[in-house]
Amino acid sequence: MFRNRILARVSDAIASGAIATVAGLALPATAQAQSLETFGTNMYGNAGTLIEMPTAEVAPDAQLSTSISHFAGQTRTTLTFQVTPRLSASFRYSAVPSQVLAFGQRAPGNPAGYSGSTYYDRSFDISYQLLTENAWRPALSIGLRDFLGTGLYEGEYIVATKAFAQDRLRVTAGLGWGRLGSLDPIGSTGTRPNAILGTGGVPNYDRWFRGDVAVFGGVSYAVTDKLTFKAEYSSDAYTDETRVEADGRVFDRKSPWNFGVDYRVSDSLSFGAYYMYGSEIGANIRIAVNPRRQGVPGGAETAPVPVSVRPVASAADLGWTTEPSRTASAVQSTRESLDREGIALEAMKIEPRRATVHIRNRRFDIEAQSVGRTARILTRTLPASVETFVITQTIEGVPASSVVLNRRDLEQLENAPAGDILARAQFTDGYAESRGVQPLPDAYPRFSWSFGPYVRTSFFDPDEPLRADANVRLRGDYRPAPGWLASASITNRLFGNLRRTPRPARVVPVNPPPVVRTDSAFYNRTKEPRIETLTLAKFGRLGPDLYGRLTVGYLERMYAGVSGEVLWKPTDSPFALGVEANYVAKRDYDQLFGLRDYEVATGHVSAYYDFGNGFHGQLDVGRYLAGDWGATVSLDREFANGWRVGAYATKTDISSAAFGEGSFDKGIRITIPISWGLGTPDRRTGEFNVSSLTRDGGARLNVDHRLYEEIRETHRSDMVSSWGKFWR
């Protein structure tokens, strides 16, 4: 009987495939291989044109979307990033009626705290498009849903999607495991464990593609460029949501069919409405941006000054070298011209055939643009005999990378593609290029200050999923000499709920680590002004390719002490290596001058690598604030306009049980350049971090001005990635 049932299901699947093939012969198909892209997302936030079932479609490369969907008492908020043209990753935060959990039956023990009406669940998805679509072949993808979470939504799939009728009709069929294999399975690939992972955060390898296998599928049809109708056959039986017990079922699942419509307002905004499982109404909203695209097309910055072309015979005239006043005039003219561009001239040396300038970029978030504007100005302010420009960028008064340009190349290539001048440019270490170059007399000392609001947030506490405080910050920086920085910042909380006492851990840890971060709420309780930081830092060059930093004082809001760092970073190398050592003590909760009785030595050896195509990796190995030893792996995709989207994970010798919910520290981070939205150059950025609940394991010290991020933007690999703005 079972064999006959399987054969019947397979026969149906084959028949469906034959029908699709005949339809493919009858309708025009795509002439060449393509990625089968879509701007839409399903109710799980994954790229696709169905309702809940996965497809083999992908989003446009680098698309970052947030979707919010709701049906049957469940709300899913998902952040999805198209990491590469074929690889996508999603992070989901779901509010689920607590009666679906049945902890007494499916989880070890009955952890306290889940007895409320709503359970908040975190989960991660990943999918990869194995095959792109061509005229005769569908796109084919493989995916894992909730592979790094509690397992509440876990499921794996292999799915194919084919486009017909000038890409308006898309047909999908696939095989699913886990939840996606729970309705009328056609077979099995082994035994699948049947327990929700209590604390989550651990990859559930033993379940992937194991257990019952079921068929799912669907179609979508774009009536217009904005309106799409869709229907799907769901293989998710919603077993827990539909069981009848004392608490009652979440919803009545009457049918495996779902129907719906999507309306795309633009590439960045769409809405969906659905009739689901014969009994429920669902809705979905998607908001998306693409970091590869400019927020304000073309930009809105002021035009640069044109390159000044010398008269033919003037390059041989060295008469100016006998008149000191002409040298002083050239320096003053250069300084004034650069200042109008938002670039500070810190040092300058003019020789008969060569000029070296040290610049501090105050305005441009693209370093290549600041170098290009500096080069333009030098063609207008320097004597005609000066043929070589050495433009050295400084970080806190310390020379970083130098770009060496030939003046004749600038004159000849101003209207040529930026790649032409890049081929003529040389990137060298500013350490050697800066010998004999003295700071201008009035470049130091220098004082700057700022005052403004900011928001501190905390996510994913099941009792209060979002906590936030609105604060104001007054910051002052004093630079008495090159390489020296004295900083202070004072904050004051205006309002918010971060001050509330942290909830007790759901599972009492075994051998818990020292409390180093989980008492952060106590640092938010006072309404009095607080000293956020009060530090003195020294930056310097220790030799060719070597940089150093030493910082002492109140380093961050929770710790005070001393932090030292050495970085080896060749100008033209994708690889860098750093060592950081810290000795810190915990600060009093009022964040004034007192210290608590906890002290620790912490530090890391860090390796950095630029993989190319915008991907940057980092590995930190060492000791963390709780005295635990381990490593942090980070991977970011960065874009020429300043956007960054990345993820990190930390695992130390603290066990998953002792760590608590989440099992180990991990998170997603997004950096958004202000200039992307304004269209004008601006060095400010907005940072958004999505991390697990604050835990003590894997916690790291926060120190301003870590060297790698400060230095690398001036080096060749970063400069080349955004060199297109050299002439802008």
**pLDDT tens digits along 66-124:** 999 999 989 999 999 999 999 999 999 998 887 776 543 444 433 434 445 788 888 89
* Mean pLDDT within 6-11: 39
Nearest residue to 91 (alpha-carbon basis) of 122, 52, 56, 57: 122
pLDDT digits (tens, 9 = 90+) for 358-413: 999 999 999 999 999 999 999 999 999 999 999 999 999 999 999 999 999 999 99
Q: Are 538 and 549 in contact (CB under 8 A)?
A: yes
Percentage of the chain with pLDDT > 70? 88
More confident residue, 72 or 677: 72
Q: Which residues of 508-527 are buried (b: 16+ CB within 10 A; e: fewer)?
A: ebeebbeebbbbbbebbeee
Compute the distance between CA of residue 124 and CA of residue 149 in angstroms, rounded to an integer.
Answer: 7
Nearest residue to 45 (alpha-carbon basis) of 175, 185, 184, 143: 143
Compute the distance between CA of residue 618 and CA of residue 709 in angstroms, rounded to an integer.
Answer: 11
Domains and CATH numbers, the chain: 2-289 (2.40.160.40), 314-443+719-725 (3.30.300)
pLDDT digits (tens, 9 = 90+) for 631-668: 999 999 999 888 999 999 999 998 877 777 667 788 89
More confident residue, 396 or 506: 396
- By mean pLDDT, which of 496-505, 605-614, 633-642, 680-689 is the weakest? 496-505
Token digits of residue 678: 């304004």
> What is the per-residue pLDDT for 115?
47
Q: Are 172 and 161 in contact (CB under 8 A)?
A: yes
Going by pLDDT thresholds of 50, 70 and 90, the confidence category of residue 526 is confident
Q: What is the 3-state secondary structure (H, E, C) of 213-282?
A: EEEEEEEEEECCCCEEEEEEECCCCCHHHHCCCCCCCCCCCCCCEEEEEEEEEECCEEEEEEEECCCEEE
> What is the per-residue pLDDT for 84?
95
> What is the per-residue pLDDT for 21?
35
Going by pLDDT thresholds of 50, 70 and 90, the confidence category of residue 509 is low
Q: What is the distance in angstroms between the CA of the first residue and the CA of the last residue of the chain? A: 73
Token digits of residue 445: 């000392």
More confident residue, 624 or 499: 624
- By mean pLDDT, which of 195-204, 373-382, 592-601 is the weakest? 195-204
Read off the DSSP letter of residue 154: -
Average pLDDT, the chain: 88
More confident residue, 260 or 682: 260
> What is the per-residue pLDDT for 578?
98
pLDDT digits (tens, 9 = 90+) for 533-559: 999 999 999 999 999 999 999 999 999
More confident residue, 628 or 195: 628
pLDDT digits (tens, 9 = 90+) for 283-337: 999 999 999 887 776 667 788 999 999 987 788 888 888 888 889 999 999 999 9
Going by pLDDT thresholds of 50, 70 and 90, the confidence category of residue 477 is very high
Compute the distance between CA of residue 169 and CA of residue 234 in angstroms, rounded to an integer.
Answer: 19
Does residue 141 carry a pLDDT above 70? yes
Strand pairing class (354-361; 388-395): parallel
> What is the per-residue pLDDT for 1?
40
pLDDT digits (tens, 9 = 90+) for 28-42: 433 456 779 999 999
Going by pLDDT thresholds of 50, 70 and 90, the confidence category of residue 692 is low
Going by pLDDT thresholds of 50, 70 and 90, the confidence category of residue 15 is very low
Q: Which residues of 85-103 are buried (b: 16+ CB within 10 A; e: fewer)?
A: ebebbbbbbbbbbbbbbeb
Does residue 266 carry a pLDDT above 90? yes
Nearest residue to 545 (alpha-carbon basis) of 577, 521, 515, 510: 577
* Mean pLDDT within 222-247: 89
> What is the per-residue pLDDT for 14?
32
Read off the DSSP letter of residue 561: E
Does residue 511 carry a pLDDT above 70? yes
Compute the distance between CA of residue 529 and CA of residue 532 in angstroms, rounded to an integer.
Answer: 9
> What is the per-residue pLDDT for 712?
94
More confident residue, 214 or 508: 214
Compute the distance between CA of residue 682 and CA of residue 106 in angstroms, rounded to an integer.
Answer: 53
